[in-house]
Amino acid sequence: MIEASGLIKRYGSTLAVDDLSFVIRPGLVTGFLGPNGAGKTTTIRLILGLDYPTAGTVTVNGKPYQQLTSPMHEVGALLEAKAVHGGRSAYNHLLCLAQTNDIPKRRVAEVLGIVGLGDVARKRSKGFSLGMSQRLGIAVALLGDPQILMFDEPVNGLDPEGILWIRTLMRSLAAEGRTVLVSSHLMSEMENTADHLLVVGRGRLIADCGMAEFIARSSGRAVLVRSPQPDALARAVTDAGASVANTGEPGQLLVRGLGEQQVGDTAFAAGIPVHHLAASRVSLEQAFMELTADSVDYHAAVPAGRSSAHNGMEA
Amino acid sequence: MAALTAGRARPGTGPTPGLRTALVGALRSEVTKIRSVRSTYWTLILLVLASVAWSIANCAGEAYRWSQLAAQDKAGFDPAQASILGLASLGQLIIVVLGALTITSEYSTGMMRTSLTVMPRRGVLYGAKAAVFAAVSLVIAVPASFICFFVGQRLLASTHVAATLSQPDVLRAVLASALYVAMCGLFAFGLGAILRSTAGAITAAYGFLFLLPQLAKALPSTWYADVVRWLPGGDVIAEITSTAPGQIGTHLFSVWGEFAVFGVYTVAVLAVGAVLFLRRDA
């Protein structure tokens, strides 16, 4: 259980974390989601006692992290994969960390096996690929067999095999009843792994809800319909209680609030011809983008004429 | 994935070690850290080789030209110092690098964040790091000083003035030289904690140990005499390595007085480093 209350972190004039309060409950995979620069890493550093909050408190199992007497047995954390001394072998890296928490040598050998680095244990980590470094970082997190695991952007820069491995690992850790906090700037990363979501933007909490609720709340169902009489169709479905958005394509509408059957029936009743009609579920990625659109620090310039968030959607 | 649970080192949240257990763990960890990177071996091997090479070159040279030396020069010759001056003057250059690296390499690699995550008691981590480094540098510097001494005296045998450890002040000079080297390393360690940069810490240490005494020489001689006793890197090395320290310069404190001065600097730098280590974001 991780509890944050009124967390604020200011670096000079930059407000990295702005009044965050949340509870990360045991036995769930909590996705910590936000655009780059939203304050995810800073929050994790605050949880781990690496940085001190400007205001507010955060506790792990009821205590500030720095007061944990045996932190590796309670929390395992993966920060940057390359936060290792490259001149040290994987085995010695793990050993020197294990010794601080009185973890036996055989556990070092064991986690090397779990993450699949047994064969390169005696090699200096300088020569490791990003994927191998990531595995080494995860081995550190697993050393103390903790109930809480935190992974900061674990799939960043990994190849598909590495991504699959980490996803499988996170799922199996959660299946064992552990608390897993995984941060990402990719909504698609969360779709299959997270039970609960914490969404942040510019340091502020935007959403704190279950994955199912997030999907229901922010995407909903929409129907994409094309007609030679779009204005008449828009009036008809609006009268039937739907909301209509223009997709930018001539003659094409995005209808929310009605199912595809109801949209078809409404058009038929009004005598409006329909050339195309299809259900279109707004992807989580788009829902996330809409939700955080106001909180992205640096927007890329949008090409002229195609700025709508709903354009180009095909079911 | 079954191994994840099968390999459980301890069920539940594990033991709750007190400060003592944490300290023991941190010390073991720091020993593993320092012995598992090559830079430790390179610097320490270089320290021993350079010091011994200096002793060989100097003592063999003195022995070679002994017969041509004036009686006055022979009378002023300090055979013990001839063998260990290299350890103090070259050893300090090298140990400074290791002392700084012991802490700054953790910052430059990002390892410090991992270290603090597994050992969030920062005071314990800092203390263990400094203690292990101090122990390692003494374990190398003390034998190195004796090797320099014995090798040098062996080469000076033909002069019939070679020193023995039983002579007054000889053992003191041999041990003080090693202690001085270790202290230089700790001084650089403290600077490393403050500056968190390898280049910065080494530059600052060299500036203090070499540049300041050299700059002081630009002062009028009476001022220099007043200033240099407060600067460990300058004439102090000659005094520490000497078996007749009183003759080196009346402008200096005694050997242990100079150690006290350097000790105060070192403790101050280590203390400032510790406070910053505890308070700063990692």
Quick: pLDDT tens for B58-95: 999 999 999 999 999 898 899 999 999 999 999 999 99
Structure token pair of residue B140:
């190398």
The per-residue pLDDT for range B182-230, each reduced to its tens digit, is 999 999 999 999 999 999 999 999 999 999 999 998 999 888 888 888 9
Nearest-by-Cβ selection for A83 from B1, B25, B110? B110
Alpha helices in chain A (DSSP H): 40-47, 71-74, 90-100, 105-114, 130-142, 160-175, 187-191, 211-218, 230-239, 260-270, 284-292
If pLDDT is split at 50, 70 and 90, which confidence band does B7 have? very low
Interface contact B38-A104, CB threshold 8 A: no
CA B205 to chain A, closest CA, distance in angstroms equals 23
Please tell me the predicted confidence (pLDDT) of residue A185.
83
Specify burial of residue A298 (Cβ count, 10 A radius: 0-12, 13-18, 19+).
exposed
C-alpha A232/C-alpha A238 separation (Å) is 10
The answer, yes or no, to whether residue B143 has pLDDT greater than 90, is yes
Contacts for B84 with CB less than 8 Å, ≥ 6 apart: B51, B55, B145, B148, B149, B152, B173, B174, B177, B241
Query: β-strand A221-226 against A243-246: which pairing, if any?
Result: unpaired
pLDDT at A293: 66
Kindly state whether A114 is in contact with chain B, defined as any CB-CB distance less than 8 angstroms: yes
Residue B139: C-alpha distances to residues B36, B110, B135, B182 (Å):
17, 28, 6, 9
What was the pLDDT predicted at A309? Answer: 40
The ipTM of this complex is 0.87
Amino acid (one-letter) located at A138: I
Task: Give the sign of the dihedral formed by CA A187, CA A188, CA A191, CA A192.
Answer: negative
Chain A, nearest residue to B103 by Cα? A85
Q: Residue A71: is it exposed, middle or buried by C-beta count within 10 angstroms (0-12/13-18/19+)?
A: buried
- Count of alpha carbons within 13 angstroms of residue A280, beta-carbon side: 25
Distance CA B262, CA B252 (A): 13
Q: What is the pLDDT of residues A72-113, one digit of tens each?
A: 999 999 988 788 999 999 999 999 999 999 999 999 999 999
Q: What percent of chain A has pLDDT above 70?
A: 87
Alpha-carbon gap, residue A246 to A244, rounded angstroms: 7
Contact present, A284 and A212 (Cβ < 8 Å):
no
| pLDDT-above-90 percentage for chain A | 53
CB contact under 8 A, A101 and B14: yes
Out of B176-185, B227-236, B245-254, pick the least confident. Answer: B245-254
Helix, strand, coil shares, percent, chain B, to 5: 80, 0, 20
Q: Please give the residue of chain B at the shortest CA–CA distance from A105.
A: B9
CB neighbours of residue A106 within 10 Å: 9
Interface of A with B in 233-292 (CB under 8 A): none
Whether A176 and chain B come into contact, CB under 8 Å, resolves to yes
Residue B239, C-beta contacts closer than 8 angstroms, at least 6 positions apart: B245, B248, B249, B252, B255, B258
- A142 — contact with chain B (CB < 8 Å)? yes
CB atoms within 10 A of CB B236: 28
Q: How confident is the model at residue A256 (pLDDT cuts 50, 70, 90)?
A: confident
- The reported pLDDT for the residue numbered A218 is 57
Mean pLDDT over A301-310 rounds to 43
What letters, b where the CB count within 10 A reaches 16 and e where it falls short, cover A274-288? beebeebebebebbb
HSE of B217, CA atoms in CB hemisphere, 13 A: 7
User: What backbone torsions phi and psi does residue A13 show, to the nearest 5 degrees?
Assistant: -95, 0
Closest of A238, A221, A236 to residue A279, by C-alpha: A221
Give yes or no for residue A279 having a pLDDT over 90: no
For residues B279 and A180, give the distance between their C-alpha atoms in angstroms, rounded to a whole number: 29
Lowest-confidence region among A16-30, A39-53, A69-83, A251-265: A251-265
Is the CB of A14 inside 8 Å of chain B's CB atoms? Answer: no
Bridging pattern class, strands A221-226 and A29-33: unpaired
* Over residues A212-219, mean pLDDT: 67
Pairing of strands A29-33, A55-60: unpaired
Instruction: Say if residues B116 and B278 touch (Cβ distance below 8 Å).
Output: no
- Structure confidence at residue A311 (pLDDT): 38
**The pLDDT of residue A217:** 63
Provide mean pLDDT across the span B244-261.
Answer: 83
The per-residue DSSP string of A208-272 comes to EEEHHHHHHHHT-EEEEEE-S-HHHHHHHHHHTT-EEEE-SSTTEEEEESS-HHHHHHHHHHHT-
- A126 close to B (CB below 8 A): no
In Å, how far is B268's CA from the nearest CA of chain A?
25
Confidence label for A245 from pLDDT (cuts 50, 70 and 90): confident
Q: Do B9 and A104 touch (CB under 8 A)?
A: yes
Nearest CA distance, A107 vs chain B (angstrom): 7
Q: What is the pLDDT of residue B15?
A: 45
Cβ–Cβ of B118/A86 closer than 8 Å? no
**pTM score:** 0.84
- Nearest by Cα to A264 from A208, A224, A313, A310: A224
Query: A98 with A145: CB under 8 angstroms?
Result: no
Backbone torsions φ then ψ of B165, nearest 5 degrees: -65, -20
Q: Determine whether the interchain pair A50/B16 forms a contact, defined as Cβ–Cβ distance below 8 Å.
A: no
Would the pLDDT of A212 be above 70? yes
> What local confidence, expressed as pLDDT, does residue A159 receive?
86
Residue A11 CA, chain-centre distance (Å), reads: 24
Q: What is the pLDDT of residue B271?
A: 98
pLDDT at res. A243 = 82
Give yes or no for residue A189 having a pLDDT over 80: no
pLDDT exceeds cutoff 80 at A295 = no
Q: What is the pLDDT of residue B108?
A: 94
CB-CB: which of B7, B116, B121 is closest to A50? B116
- With an 8 Å Cβ cutoff, is A209 touching chain B? no
- pLDDT band at residue A117 using 50, 70 and 90 as cut-offs: very high
A175 has a pLDDT exceeding 90: no
Q: Which structure tokens are listed for B45?
A: 């091997």
Closest CA of chain A from B42, distance in Å: 13
A contact test, residue of B13, B20, B36, B117 with most A CBs within 10 A? B117
Mutate to test the interface with B, among A1, A68, A99 (most CBs of B within 10 A): A99
pLDDT above 50 (res A145): yes
